[in-house]
Amino acid sequence: MKLHWSPRSPYVRKVLIAAHEMGLGSRLDCVRTTVSPFAPAEDLWDDNPLNKLPTLVLDDGTAIYDNRVICEHLDTLHDGPRLFPQGGRERLIALRNQALGDGLLDVLMMRLIERLRPEERRSPEIVVSNERKTAAALDRLESDVALLTTRPYDIGHVAIGTALGYVDFRFADDGWRDRRPKLAAWHAGFDARPAVCACPVRDDS
Amino acid sequence: MKLHWSPRSPYVRKVLIAAHEMGLGSRLDCVRTTVSPFAPAEDLWDDNPLNKLPTLVLDDGTAIYDNRVICEHLDTLHDGPRLFPQGGRERLIALRNQALGDGLLDVLMMRLIERLRPEERRSPEIVVSNERKTAAALDRLESDVALLTTRPYDIGHVAIGTALGYVDFRFADDGWRDRRPKLAAWHAGFDARPAVCACPVRDDS
Protein backbone atom coordinates (compact mmCIF):
# COMPACT_ATOMS: atom_id res chain seq x y z
CA MET A 1 0.00 0.00 0.00
CA LYS A 2 1.27 3.45 -0.92
CA LEU A 3 1.01 6.13 1.75
CA HIS A 4 1.38 9.76 0.73
CA TRP A 5 3.62 10.90 3.54
CA SER A 6 5.37 13.90 5.03
CA PRO A 7 7.64 13.83 8.08
CA ARG A 8 5.98 16.88 9.61
CA SER A 9 2.30 16.04 9.18
CA PRO A 10 0.80 14.98 12.52
CA TYR A 11 -2.13 13.34 10.73
CA VAL A 12 0.36 11.14 8.88
CA ARG A 13 2.16 10.41 12.14
CA LYS A 14 -1.10 9.29 13.72
CA VAL A 15 -1.60 6.75 10.91
CA LEU A 16 1.98 5.53 11.23
CA ILE A 17 1.70 5.08 14.99
CA ALA A 18 -1.58 3.20 14.57
CA ALA A 19 -0.04 1.01 11.85
CA HIS A 20 2.90 0.16 14.10
CA GLU A 21 0.56 -0.67 17.00
CA MET A 22 -1.15 -3.10 14.61
CA GLY A 23 2.09 -4.60 13.38
CA LEU A 24 1.47 -3.21 9.89
CA GLY A 25 4.27 -0.67 9.68
CA SER A 26 6.19 -2.64 7.09
CA ARG A 27 3.11 -2.88 4.83
CA LEU A 28 3.17 0.88 4.16
CA ASP A 29 5.27 2.14 1.26
CA CYS A 30 5.74 5.80 2.24
CA VAL A 31 6.20 8.28 -0.60
CA ARG A 32 7.22 11.85 0.15
CA THR A 33 4.47 14.30 -0.75
CA THR A 34 4.84 17.98 0.09
CA VAL A 35 1.62 19.88 0.77
CA SER A 36 1.01 23.29 2.28
CA PRO A 37 -2.13 25.37 2.82
CA PHE A 38 -0.53 27.93 0.51
CA ALA A 39 0.45 25.54 -2.30
CA PRO A 40 -1.15 22.16 -3.11
CA ALA A 41 0.93 19.12 -4.07
CA GLU A 42 0.53 18.63 -7.81
CA ASP A 43 1.20 14.88 -7.59
CA LEU A 44 -1.59 14.36 -5.03
CA TRP A 45 -4.65 15.54 -7.00
CA ASP A 46 -5.18 12.21 -8.73
CA ASP A 47 -5.36 10.27 -5.49
CA ASN A 48 -7.13 12.91 -3.40
CA PRO A 49 -9.04 15.87 -4.87
CA LEU A 50 -8.87 17.57 -1.45
CA ASN A 51 -5.07 17.46 -1.69
CA LYS A 52 -4.66 16.31 1.89
CA LEU A 53 -2.27 14.09 3.79
CA PRO A 54 -2.43 11.28 4.61
CA THR A 55 -3.86 9.50 1.55
CA LEU A 56 -3.51 5.72 1.23
CA VAL A 57 -3.59 3.94 -2.13
CA LEU A 58 -4.63 0.30 -1.75
CA ASP A 59 -3.10 -2.45 -3.86
CA ASP A 60 -6.17 -2.45 -6.13
CA GLY A 61 -5.67 1.28 -6.81
CA THR A 62 -8.48 2.53 -4.57
CA ALA A 63 -7.40 5.71 -2.81
CA ILE A 64 -8.76 6.28 0.70
CA TYR A 65 -8.69 9.20 3.12
CA ASP A 66 -8.81 10.86 5.59
CA ASN A 67 -6.63 9.70 8.50
CA ARG A 68 -9.60 8.25 10.43
CA VAL A 69 -10.79 6.19 7.48
CA ILE A 70 -7.27 4.91 6.89
CA CYS A 71 -6.82 3.93 10.55
CA GLU A 72 -10.16 2.12 10.68
CA HIS A 73 -9.36 0.26 7.45
CA LEU A 74 -5.91 -0.78 8.66
CA ASP A 75 -7.55 -2.11 11.82
CA THR A 76 -9.38 -4.70 9.67
CA LEU A 77 -6.09 -6.05 8.27
CA HIS A 78 -4.53 -7.61 11.37
CA ASP A 79 -5.32 -10.18 14.04
CA GLY A 80 -4.08 -8.33 17.12
CA PRO A 81 -6.09 -6.31 19.63
CA ARG A 82 -8.33 -3.83 17.82
CA LEU A 83 -7.74 -0.09 18.18
CA PHE A 84 -11.39 0.49 17.19
CA PRO A 85 -13.68 -1.26 19.71
CA GLN A 86 -16.41 -3.14 17.86
CA GLY A 87 -19.42 -1.44 19.41
CA GLY A 88 -21.25 -0.16 22.44
CA ARG A 89 -20.06 2.49 24.85
CA GLU A 90 -16.42 1.41 24.45
CA ARG A 91 -16.53 2.33 20.76
CA LEU A 92 -18.45 5.54 21.39
CA ILE A 93 -15.93 6.84 23.92
CA ALA A 94 -12.98 5.74 21.74
CA LEU A 95 -14.41 7.64 18.77
CA ARG A 96 -15.25 10.69 20.87
CA ASN A 97 -11.71 10.70 22.29
CA GLN A 98 -10.33 10.33 18.77
CA ALA A 99 -12.43 13.34 17.73
CA LEU A 100 -10.97 15.30 20.65
CA GLY A 101 -7.41 14.45 19.59
CA ASP A 102 -8.06 15.09 15.91
CA GLY A 103 -9.96 18.29 16.71
CA LEU A 104 -7.08 19.52 18.86
CA LEU A 105 -4.77 18.84 15.90
CA ASP A 106 -7.08 20.88 13.66
CA VAL A 107 -6.89 23.78 16.11
CA LEU A 108 -3.09 23.52 16.26
CA MET A 109 -2.94 23.46 12.47
CA MET A 110 -5.02 26.63 12.29
CA ARG A 111 -2.65 28.25 14.77
CA LEU A 112 0.31 27.22 12.66
CA ILE A 113 -1.24 28.52 9.43
CA GLU A 114 -1.98 31.81 11.15
CA ARG A 115 1.64 32.04 12.29
CA LEU A 116 2.92 31.29 8.78
CA ARG A 117 1.04 34.27 7.33
CA PRO A 118 2.80 37.60 7.01
CA GLU A 119 2.24 39.37 10.31
CA GLU A 120 0.00 42.04 8.81
CA ARG A 121 -2.35 39.36 7.48
CA ARG A 122 -2.92 37.61 10.80
CA SER A 123 -6.23 37.85 12.66
CA PRO A 124 -5.78 38.55 16.38
CA GLU A 125 -9.29 37.20 17.11
CA ILE A 126 -8.53 33.87 15.43
CA VAL A 127 -5.21 33.59 17.27
CA VAL A 128 -6.86 34.16 20.64
CA SER A 129 -9.79 31.87 19.88
CA ASN A 130 -7.52 28.97 18.92
CA GLU A 131 -5.25 29.52 21.93
CA ARG A 132 -8.32 29.28 24.18
CA LYS A 133 -9.45 26.07 22.46
CA THR A 134 -6.01 24.54 22.89
CA ALA A 135 -5.97 25.35 26.61
CA ALA A 136 -9.55 24.13 27.10
CA ALA A 137 -8.84 20.80 25.40
CA LEU A 138 -5.69 20.25 27.48
CA ASP A 139 -7.48 21.24 30.70
CA ARG A 140 -10.26 18.78 29.92
CA LEU A 141 -7.73 16.01 29.24
CA GLU A 142 -6.09 16.76 32.60
CA SER A 143 -9.36 16.65 34.54
CA ASP A 144 -10.63 13.59 32.63
CA VAL A 145 -7.28 11.79 32.49
CA ALA A 146 -8.97 8.63 33.82
CA LEU A 147 -10.54 8.29 30.36
CA LEU A 148 -7.00 7.63 29.16
CA THR A 149 -5.46 5.81 32.11
CA THR A 150 -8.27 3.41 33.01
CA ARG A 151 -9.40 2.34 29.53
CA PRO A 152 -7.83 -0.23 27.18
CA TYR A 153 -5.54 1.45 24.66
CA ASP A 154 -7.51 2.48 21.57
CA ILE A 155 -7.53 4.92 18.65
CA GLY A 156 -8.48 7.72 21.04
CA HIS A 157 -5.19 7.29 22.87
CA VAL A 158 -3.30 7.38 19.56
CA ALA A 159 -5.06 10.57 18.45
CA ILE A 160 -4.60 12.38 21.76
CA GLY A 161 -0.97 11.29 22.17
CA THR A 162 -0.19 12.43 18.64
CA ALA A 163 -1.83 15.80 19.26
CA LEU A 164 0.18 16.34 22.46
CA GLY A 165 3.36 15.51 20.52
CA TYR A 166 2.41 18.20 18.02
CA VAL A 167 1.97 20.76 20.78
CA ASP A 168 5.54 19.96 21.79
CA PHE A 169 6.78 20.17 18.19
CA ARG A 170 5.12 23.45 17.16
CA PHE A 171 4.02 25.18 20.36
CA ALA A 172 6.61 24.26 22.96
CA ASP A 173 6.26 27.79 24.35
CA ASP A 174 2.76 26.88 25.55
CA GLY A 175 4.45 24.97 28.37
CA TRP A 176 1.43 22.69 28.47
CA ARG A 177 2.83 20.37 31.14
CA ASP A 178 3.17 23.13 33.75
CA ARG A 179 -0.35 22.89 35.20
CA ARG A 180 -1.20 19.43 33.90
CA PRO A 181 0.94 16.85 35.73
CA LYS A 182 -1.44 13.91 35.28
CA LEU A 183 -1.69 14.39 31.53
CA ALA A 184 2.09 14.86 31.32
CA ALA A 185 2.61 11.56 33.14
CA TRP A 186 0.24 9.77 30.80
CA HIS A 187 1.99 11.26 27.77
CA ALA A 188 5.39 10.12 29.01
CA GLY A 189 4.05 6.58 28.98
CA PHE A 190 2.61 7.08 25.51
CA ASP A 191 5.94 8.34 24.23
CA ALA A 192 7.67 5.21 25.54
CA ARG A 193 5.50 2.80 23.56
CA PRO A 194 7.51 0.97 20.87
CA ALA A 195 5.04 1.99 18.15
CA VAL A 196 5.46 5.65 19.12
CA CYS A 197 9.26 5.40 19.37
CA ALA A 198 9.20 3.95 15.82
CA CYS A 199 7.56 7.17 14.56
CA PRO A 200 9.62 10.07 15.88
CA VAL A 201 8.57 13.65 15.22
CA ARG A 202 10.95 14.92 12.57
CA ASP A 203 11.59 18.30 11.01
CA ASP A 204 13.76 17.15 8.13
CA SER A 205 13.72 15.61 4.62
CA MET B 1 -30.81 14.26 23.60
CA LYS B 2 -29.65 17.88 23.45
CA LEU B 3 -28.06 19.00 20.21
CA HIS B 4 -26.04 22.22 20.19
CA TRP B 5 -27.40 23.68 16.97
CA SER B 6 -27.09 26.59 14.58
CA PRO B 7 -29.23 27.10 11.47
CA ARG B 8 -26.21 27.97 9.34
CA SER B 9 -23.76 25.22 10.32
CA PRO B 10 -23.52 22.65 7.53
CA TYR B 11 -22.04 20.11 9.96
CA VAL B 12 -25.18 20.45 12.09
CA ARG B 13 -27.34 20.13 8.97
CA LYS B 14 -25.58 16.90 8.07
CA VAL B 15 -26.47 15.44 11.48
CA LEU B 16 -30.08 16.62 11.19
CA ILE B 17 -30.48 15.11 7.71
CA ALA B 18 -28.97 11.83 8.92
CA ALA B 19 -31.26 11.84 11.98
CA HIS B 20 -34.32 12.39 9.77
CA GLU B 21 -33.23 9.58 7.43
CA MET B 22 -33.12 7.36 10.54
CA GLY B 23 -36.49 8.51 11.82
CA LEU B 24 -34.82 10.10 14.84
CA GLY B 25 -35.49 13.77 14.09
CA SER B 26 -37.96 14.15 16.94
CA ARG B 27 -35.46 12.71 19.45
CA LEU B 28 -33.18 15.73 19.09
CA ASP B 29 -33.78 18.72 21.32
CA CYS B 30 -32.04 21.49 19.37
CA VAL B 31 -30.65 24.38 21.40
CA ARG B 32 -29.37 27.49 19.63
CA THR B 33 -25.61 27.90 20.09
CA THR B 34 -23.75 30.65 18.28
CA VAL B 35 -20.12 29.95 17.41
CA SER B 36 -17.71 31.71 15.10
CA PRO B 37 -14.02 31.24 14.33
CA PHE B 38 -13.53 34.73 15.72
CA ALA B 39 -15.50 34.30 18.96
CA PRO B 40 -16.19 31.00 20.78
CA ALA B 41 -19.60 30.25 22.33
CA GLU B 42 -19.23 30.64 26.08
CA ASP B 43 -22.06 28.19 26.80
CA LEU B 44 -20.40 25.42 24.76
CA TRP B 45 -17.08 24.98 26.62
CA ASP B 46 -18.53 22.61 29.22
CA ASP B 47 -19.85 20.18 26.64
CA ASN B 48 -17.04 20.54 24.08
CA PRO B 49 -13.61 22.00 24.87
CA LEU B 50 -13.03 22.46 21.14
CA ASN B 51 -16.10 24.74 21.06
CA LYS B 52 -17.43 23.18 17.88
CA LEU B 53 -20.84 22.45 16.43
CA PRO B 54 -22.48 20.00 16.41
CA THR B 55 -22.16 18.63 19.94
CA LEU B 56 -24.69 16.11 21.23
CA VAL B 57 -25.39 15.62 24.94
CA LEU B 58 -26.81 12.16 25.62
CA ASP B 59 -29.50 11.59 28.24
CA ASP B 60 -26.87 10.34 30.71
CA GLY B 61 -24.93 13.61 30.32
CA THR B 62 -22.16 12.25 28.10
CA ALA B 63 -21.25 14.84 25.46
CA ILE B 64 -20.15 13.49 22.08
CA TYR B 65 -18.69 15.08 18.95
CA ASP B 66 -17.80 15.57 16.14
CA ASN B 67 -20.48 15.26 13.47
CA ARG B 68 -19.19 11.86 12.30
CA VAL B 69 -19.23 10.38 15.77
CA ILE B 70 -22.74 11.71 16.37
CA CYS B 71 -24.01 10.27 13.07
CA GLU B 72 -22.49 6.86 13.74
CA HIS B 73 -23.94 6.80 17.25
CA LEU B 74 -27.42 7.79 16.05
CA ASP B 75 -27.21 4.96 13.53
CA THR B 76 -27.15 2.48 16.44
CA LEU B 77 -30.43 3.84 17.85
CA HIS B 78 -32.89 2.78 15.15
CA ASP B 79 -34.08 -0.33 13.33
CA GLY B 80 -34.21 0.99 9.77
CA PRO B 81 -31.62 0.61 7.02
CA ARG B 82 -28.20 1.60 8.30
CA LEU B 83 -26.42 4.68 6.91
CA PHE B 84 -23.11 3.14 8.04
CA PRO B 85 -22.59 -0.22 6.29
CA GLN B 86 -21.43 -2.79 8.81
CA GLY B 87 -18.16 -3.75 7.15
CA GLY B 88 -16.20 -4.72 4.08
CA ARG B 89 -15.76 -2.65 0.95
CA GLU B 90 -19.24 -1.14 1.29
CA ARG B 91 -18.26 0.44 4.58
CA LEU B 92 -14.86 1.53 3.31
CA ILE B 93 -16.30 3.37 0.31
CA ALA B 94 -19.09 4.89 2.40
CA LEU B 95 -16.54 6.25 4.89
CA ARG B 96 -14.22 7.48 2.12
CA ASN B 97 -17.14 9.26 0.45
CA GLN B 98 -18.12 10.75 3.79
CA ALA B 99 -14.55 12.01 4.18
CA LEU B 100 -14.78 13.59 0.73
CA GLY B 101 -18.01 15.37 1.63
CA ASP B 102 -16.76 16.44 5.06
CA GLY B 103 -13.40 17.49 3.61
CA LEU B 104 -15.13 19.59 0.96
CA LEU B 105 -17.10 21.26 3.77
CA ASP B 106 -13.83 21.98 5.59
CA VAL B 107 -12.45 23.63 2.44
CA LEU B 108 -15.63 25.69 2.02
CA MET B 109 -15.43 26.75 5.66
CA MET B 110 -11.84 27.90 5.16
CA ARG B 111 -12.97 29.89 2.13
CA LEU B 112 -15.75 31.48 4.18
CA ILE B 113 -13.44 32.37 7.07
CA GLU B 114 -11.01 33.94 4.61
CA ARG B 115 -13.84 36.00 3.13
CA LEU B 116 -14.99 37.15 6.57
CA ARG B 117 -11.58 38.62 7.34
CA PRO B 118 -10.92 42.27 6.60
CA GLU B 119 -9.71 42.39 3.00
CA GLU B 120 -6.18 43.44 3.95
CA ARG B 121 -5.82 40.36 6.14
CA ARG B 122 -6.73 37.81 3.47
CA SER B 123 -4.16 35.49 1.95
CA PRO B 124 -4.42 35.29 -1.87
CA GLU B 125 -2.54 31.97 -1.88
CA ILE B 126 -4.99 30.37 0.56
CA VAL B 127 -7.96 31.69 -1.43
CA VAL B 128 -6.62 30.22 -4.69
CA SER B 129 -5.61 26.93 -3.07
CA ASN B 130 -9.07 26.38 -1.59
CA GLU B 131 -10.83 27.36 -4.81
CA ARG B 132 -8.76 24.73 -6.63
CA LYS B 133 -9.64 22.10 -4.02
CA THR B 134 -13.33 22.91 -4.34
CA ALA B 135 -13.20 22.56 -8.13
CA ALA B 136 -11.16 19.36 -7.95
CA ALA B 137 -13.57 17.74 -5.49
CA LEU B 138 -16.59 18.67 -7.62
CA ASP B 139 -14.89 17.47 -10.81
CA ARG B 140 -14.12 14.15 -9.15
CA LEU B 141 -17.71 13.78 -8.00
CA GLU B 142 -18.87 14.44 -11.58
CA SER B 143 -16.52 11.87 -13.10
CA ASP B 144 -17.20 9.31 -10.33
CA VAL B 145 -20.93 10.03 -10.03
CA ALA B 146 -21.63 6.29 -10.32
CA LEU B 147 -20.27 6.00 -6.77
CA LEU B 148 -23.36 7.97 -5.75
CA THR B 149 -25.96 6.75 -8.24
CA THR B 150 -25.27 3.01 -8.20
CA ARG B 151 -24.72 2.43 -4.48
CA PRO B 152 -27.28 2.10 -1.68
CA TYR B 153 -27.85 5.41 0.09
CA ASP B 154 -25.39 5.82 2.95
CA ILE B 155 -23.62 8.41 5.10
CA GLY B 156 -21.38 9.30 2.14
CA HIS B 157 -24.42 10.49 0.20
CA VAL B 158 -25.54 12.57 3.18
CA ALA B 159 -22.12 14.20 3.55
CA ILE B 160 -21.69 14.96 -0.15
CA GLY B 161 -25.25 16.22 -0.59
CA THR B 162 -24.85 18.48 2.44
CA ALA B 163 -21.57 19.87 1.09
CA LEU B 164 -23.13 20.63 -2.30
CA GLY B 165 -25.97 22.45 -0.53
CA TYR B 166 -23.36 24.56 1.25
CA VAL B 167 -21.72 25.48 -2.05
CA ASP B 168 -25.13 26.78 -3.13
CA PHE B 169 -25.64 28.63 0.16
CA ARG B 170 -22.26 30.36 0.43
CA PHE B 171 -20.62 30.15 -3.01
CA ALA B 172 -23.47 30.32 -5.50
CA ASP B 173 -21.18 32.40 -7.75
CA ASP B 174 -19.07 29.28 -8.32
CA GLY B 175 -21.83 28.12 -10.71
CA TRP B 176 -20.84 24.54 -9.88
CA ARG B 177 -23.59 22.94 -11.97
CA ASP B 178 -22.43 24.53 -15.23
CA ARG B 179 -19.94 21.85 -16.24
CA ARG B 180 -21.25 19.06 -13.99
CA PRO B 181 -24.66 17.95 -15.26
CA LYS B 182 -24.51 14.43 -13.82
CA LEU B 183 -23.69 15.64 -10.32
CA ALA B 184 -26.35 18.33 -10.60
CA ALA B 185 -28.94 15.68 -11.51
CA TRP B 186 -27.93 13.52 -8.57
CA HIS B 187 -28.13 16.51 -6.22
CA ALA B 188 -31.63 17.37 -7.42
CA GLY B 189 -32.71 13.91 -6.32
CA PHE B 190 -30.96 14.35 -2.98
CA ASP B 191 -32.72 17.66 -2.41
CA ALA B 192 -36.09 16.01 -2.99
CA ARG B 193 -35.67 13.41 -0.25
CA PRO B 194 -38.10 13.97 2.65
CA ALA B 195 -35.26 13.97 5.19
CA VAL B 196 -33.48 16.72 3.25
CA CYS B 197 -36.65 18.76 2.75
CA ALA B 198 -37.16 18.57 6.52
CA CYS B 199 -33.79 20.33 7.03
CA PRO B 200 -33.80 23.40 4.80
CA VAL B 201 -30.72 25.62 4.56
CA ARG B 202 -31.57 28.72 6.54
CA ASP B 203 -29.89 32.04 7.08
CA ASP B 204 -32.04 33.29 9.94
CA SER B 205 -32.64 33.07 13.71
CA distance B90 to A21: 25
pLDDT tens string B73-93: 999 999 999 999 999 999 999
Based on the fold, state whether residues B19 and B67 are members of the same structural domain: yes
Based on the fold, state whether residues B54 and B113 are members of the same structural domain: no
| Structural domain harbouring B18 | 2-74
- Average pLDDT over every residue of A188-202: 95
Position B95 in a domain: yes
CB contact under 8 A, A139 and B49: yes
Residue B51 has pLDDT above 80, yes or no: yes
User: Which one-letter DSSP state was computed for residue A123?
Assistant: -
pLDDT tens string A51-97: 999 999 999 999 999 999 999 999 999 999 999 999 999 999 999 99
- Average pLDDT over every residue of A35-42: 92
Task: Give the pLDDT of residue B204.
Answer: 62
CA distance B166 to B172: 9
Based on the fold, state whether residues A181 and A108 are members of the same structural domain: yes
For residue A40, the distance in angstroms to the closest alpha carbon of chain B comes to: 7
How large a percentage of chain B has pLDDT more than 70? Answer: 99
User: Which one-letter DSSP state was computed for residue A66?
Assistant: S
For the stretch B174-181, contacts whose Cβ atoms lie closer than 8 Å and that sit 24 or more positions apart, written own/partner, are B174/B134, B176/B138, B179/B142, B180/B138, B180/B139, B180/B141, B180/B142
Position B160 in a domain: yes
Residue A205 has pLDDT above 70, yes or no: no
Position A40 in a domain: yes
Task: Give the pLDDT of residue A116.
Answer: 94
Of A29, A52, A74, the residue at which a domain comes to its end is A74
pLDDT band at A202 (very low <50, low <70, confident <90, very high): confident
Residue B159 has pLDDT above 80, yes or no: yes
Based on the fold, state whether residues B110 and B20 are members of the same structural domain: no
Q: Within the 49-68 window of chain A, which residues sit less than 8 Å (CB to CB) from chain B?
A: 49-52, 62-66, 68
Based on the fold, state whether residues B163 and B118 are members of the same structural domain: yes
Based on the fold, state whether residues A53 and A138 are members of the same structural domain: no
Residue A106 has pLDDT above 70, yes or no: yes
Task: Give the pLDDT of residue A201.
Answer: 87
CA distance B193 to B62: 31
CA distance B165 to B105: 10
pLDDT band at A204 (very low <50, low <70, confident <90, very high): low
Based on the fold, state whether residues B118 and B189 are members of the same structural domain: yes
Based on the fold, state whether residues B102 and B165 are members of the same structural domain: yes
Residue B68 neighbours by CB under 8 Å, 6+ apart? A68, A95, A99, B98, B102
Task: Give the pLDDT of residue A131.
Answer: 97
Of A41, A74, A107, the residue at which a domain comes to its end is A74
Reported ipTM: 0.97
CB contact under 8 A, B51 and A136: yes
Question: Which CATH number fits the domain that encloses residue A37?
Answer: 3.40.30.10
A-chain CB neighbours of B95 within 8 Å are 64, 68-69, 72-73
Task: Give the pLDDT of residue B129.
Answer: 97
CA distance B159 to B96: 10
**What average pLDDT is seen over chain A?**
96
Position A83 in a domain: no
pLDDT band at A37 (very low <50, low <70, confident <90, very high): confident
Position B34 in a domain: yes
Q: Is B87 on the interface with A (CB under 8 A)?
A: yes
- Average pLDDT over every residue of B2-14: 97
Of B74, B103, B122, the residue at which a domain comes to its end is B74
Query: A96: closest CA among B58, B3, B63?
Result: B63
**What average pLDDT is seen over chain B?**
96
Based on the fold, state whether residues B61 and B120 are members of the same structural domain: no
Based on the fold, state whether residues B51 and B96 are members of the same structural domain: no
Question: Which CATH number fits the domain that encloses residue A154?
Answer: 1.20.1050.10
pLDDT band at B72 (very low <50, low <70, confident <90, very high): very high
A-chain CB neighbours of B38 within 8 Å are 123, 125-126, 129
- Average pLDDT over every residue of A113-135: 95
How large a percentage of chain A has pLDDT more than 70? Answer: 99
CA distance A54 to A47: 11
Count of domains for chain A: 2
Position A82 in a domain: no
Based on the fold, state whether residues B120 and B152 are members of the same structural domain: yes
Q: How far is the CA of A153 from the CAs of A70, A75, A79, A97, B133, in angstroms?
A: 18, 13, 16, 11, 36
Position B103 in a domain: yes
Residue B36 has pLDDT above 80, yes or no: yes
Task: Give the pLDDT of residue B37.
Answer: 87
Residue A140 has pLDDT above 60, yes or no: yes
- Average pLDDT over every residue of A111-135: 96
Based on the fold, state whether residues A45 and A105 are members of the same structural domain: no
B-chain CB neighbours of A87 within 8 Å are 76
Using DSSP, state whether B146 is helix, strand or coil: helix
Task: Give the pLDDT of residue B188.
Answer: 98
Position B80 in a domain: no
- Average pLDDT over every residue of A21-38: 95
Please name the residue of chain A whose CA is at the shortest distance from the CA of residue B47. Answer: A140
